[in-house]
Structure 1
Amino acid sequence: MLSKGFEIEMYTGTPDGDIVGFSDKIVAALDGFVREPDTRNVEYTTPPLCRYERLLCELVRPRLRLRSFLKRLGNYTLIPGSTLALGGSDQFHRSDPGNPYHSFIERTYGTTVVTASVHINVGIADPEVLMRACRLIRAEAPLFLALSAASPFLDGQPTGNHSSRWRVFPKTPREVPLFESHAHYIRWTDEQLKLGTMQNVRHLWSSVRPNGDRRPYCLNRLELRICDLVSDPVALLAICALLEARIMQVMENPDLDPLVQSDLPSVTRATDLVALIDANEDAAAQNSLEAELRHWQDGRMLRAQDWVNLLLEETLPTAKQHGFACFLQPIHKILREGNEAQRWLRLIDQGWDARQVVKQAIRDTESIEMALAEDLCEPGVDLSVPDDEPCLALVP
């Protein structure tokens, strides 16, 4: 199994769904949390691990510590979703007024970057294999957005999109190629830095990017950045398991590469694929699992939900071979019951308003985490503070 870890961005606020920023206080009081440019969301990162049961504990434990801290501040909680669902998009709330990079972000992008999401990192040591994996996963990234979509509201109203976050998020630079090699990635990054389209090596905001300790030269992982915040940690592990299985397949089969297998004309294939992928991302952001997407391999149109089912069938033998097939199972529930955005919009259709939906989602999310805490750890272990107690596997 490959190493993998998560970067989790979350909003804080009231049980009524109003988002209130505390990132300066959180970062000062709790190890493992870092601030974002806007104080209303905060980020924590799990360590790179191979075992899913251990990852589950690392996902839940920081949230419980954060919940405990917020309760000491007052009647505050964690808020699911990936946009400023009930209001606040008209103002930027700086978390670090003296940071020049944050000044650039506020001035250039405003609150379009004040979103919450999940970034999934998967370890790949060989840079050329990493580039091949990035090409395949970028071509299929709209499927991961479709599974995770959780931002149908902005400023108190449905937007008409299942992932309002990805529709407004400023993908940067505007045009990002499919990197043909590590050398191509290095040349392209150096050129963007000279042109000023990227402020630094981190300023590559696309659905998928190579990552490492000294970008663009030293790389060791693929980072999938397209997913909305997935409130249920078990569902997030399932999405990660699908990603890992797909990466394993492209590692084992060099021909599983959009630049090799696509039926698009070879002369324009690279640029045609980018246009196809961008259109699929937009469609998935609008309609998630119901979106009509064009397959990168042969150009046929199919629903995102049907494509995910095909991918599950294709990756199941690989996941079984490596011993984590059981962690794919929750994806069937997402396909059956809908992602968070779809479930929330069904409540809107039943007469609920956005605030009622968000308030219920807050309660549901806390209940899920409390139940996981009981199942994950030894009785009597206090998860509100760091400890080294062993975590038990929730899924056999």
Structure 2
Amino acid sequence: MLALSASSPFLDGHSTGTHSQRWLQFPLTPPQVPLFESHGHYIAWMEQQLQQGSMQNVRHLWTSVRPNGDDRPHDLNRLEIRICDLITDPLLLLAVTAFAELRLQQLLIDPERHDPLRASHLDAAALAELADANDRAAARDSLEAPLQHWRSGSVITARDWIATALEEMTPLARQCGLEPWLAPLHAVLEQGNQAMQWLAAHRSGTAVAPLIAAGAAAMAHREDQLNADLATERFGPLG
């Protein structure tokens, strides 16, 4: 998700050398968060953190994915994907959302194949370390980042991993009526995400301030385009 959405390569008017400074700016809280094996495991772990003082309250959990609900950790009804940078294009936002939904559906439909805790050669502790390392790598280099695949620990670039995942989920996407909504992801894989495009322009000599100003103008123009399209019957229902 971060490799697709990275859009924060600048800080205080300068290039940071990373694609998502936002994600690297805020440390995980607590520093080690496990892969939760069940709802009960999550409840027990949260209560332990609160008792130890490593978390100040139930909201004091900063990690790439966070369960949420009206009475967390006991009553959960949604999953927050917090690792993504700002996505200004609504169609790309829908594409990333559809990608996440399909990944969750894969896990629910066939956990023996798609749940890392069941399908990986690695144990839960190693998987948690791998996930955190992958998050950091994606923050630094997004689509170009060398990541470790959770199935075996083998190295694969984020771009290749996403492309493979999209190919594997195509039948399910078609079944759910989501295949057309994934199209913007293919464009990102080919052309790069926002951070990569900005950094390429910056390396070619464009200063940060004009880049951000041009991005704001492009966002306003895109909104006008989509508002005009919404006045027609171009867009059907999602799914």
Q: TM-score range by the shorter chain?
A: over 0.9
* Aligned length in residues: 236
The percentage of aligned residue pairs carrying the same residue is 50
Alignment correspondent of 1:282: 136
Query: Aligned runs of 1:190-229 on 2, under 5 Å?
Result: 190-229=47-86
Is 1:367 the counterpart of 2:221? The answer is yes
- Paired residues for 1:178-189 under 5 Å: 178-189=35-46
CA drift of 1:212 comes to 1.1
Structure 1 segment 260-271 matched on structure 2, within 5 A: 260-264=118-122, 269-271=123-125
8 Å CA contact 1:211, 1:221 repeated in 2: yes
**Corresponding residue for 1:154?**
11
Runs of 4+ residues over 2 Å off in structure 1 = 392-396
Q: Distance in 1 between matches of 2:231 and 2:27?
A: 40
Q: TM-score, normalised by structure 2?
A: 0.96
- 2:235 is aligned with 1:394: yes
Query: Is 1:163 paired with 2:13?
Result: no
Distance in 2 between residues matched to 1:377 and 1:203, nearest whole Å: 42
SS in 2 for 1:209: strand
1:238 maps to: 95
In the TM superposition, what is the alpha-carbon distance from 1:155 to its structure 2 partner? 0.4
Higher relative contact order (CA 8 A, sep 6+): 2
Q: Are 1:356 and 2:213 matched, yes or no?
A: no
Q: Distance in 2 between matches of 1:375 and 1:172?
A: 42
Query: Secondary structure at 2:169's aligned position in 1?
Result: helix
Report the secondary structure of 1:223's partner residue.
Answer: strand
Distance in 2 (alpha carbons) for counterparts of 1:343 and 1:153: 12
What is the Cα deviation at residue 350 of structure 1?
1.4
Distance 1:393 1:282 in 2: 39
Map of 1:294-313 to 2, 5 A cutoff? 294-313=148-167
Indicate the SS of the match to 1:329.
helix
Deviation digits for residues 356-391 of structure 1, max 9, x if unmatched? 11011010011111111111136xxxxxxxxxxxxx
CA distance in 2, matches of 1:394, 1:197: 47
User: Letter of the aligned partner of 2:91 in structure 1?
Assistant: V
Q: What displacement does 1:274 show?
A: 1.1
User: Partner residue of 1:345?
Assistant: 199
Q: Give the equivalent residue in structure 1 for 2:231.
A: 377
Q: Distance in 1 between matches of 2:192 and 2:102?
A: 22
Q: 1:176 is paired with a residue of what secondary structure?
A: coil
- 1:178-233 deviations in Å (ceiling 9; x for gaps): 11111111111111111121121111110001111110111112111100000111
Q: Which moved more, 1:219-228 or 1:150-159?
A: 219-228
After TM superposition, the score normalised by the length of structure 1 is 0.58
Q: Which amino acid letter does the alignment assign opposite residue 258 of structure 1?
A: P
What corresponds to 1:23 in structure 2? none
- CA shift, 1:299, in A, is 1.3
CA distance in 1, matches of 2:156, 2:111: 25
- Asked if 2 retains the 8 angstrom alpha-carbon contact of 1:327 and 1:395, the reply is no
Alignment pair present for 1:259 and 2:110: no
Structure 2 stretches of 5 or more lacking a match? none
Q: What's the counterpart of residue 326 of structure 1?
A: 180
Displacement of 1:393: 5.3
Aligned ranges for residues 62-101 of structure 1 at < 5 Å?
none
Q: Report Cα offsets for 1:79-132 as digits up to 9, x if no partner.
A: xxxxxxxxxxxxxxxxxxxxxxxxxxxxxxxxxxxxxxxxxxxxxxxxxxxxxx
| Paired residues of 1:326 and 1:395 also in contact (CA < 8 A) | no
Aligned partner of 1:273 in structure 2 is 127
Gaps of 5+ in 1: 1-143, 379-391
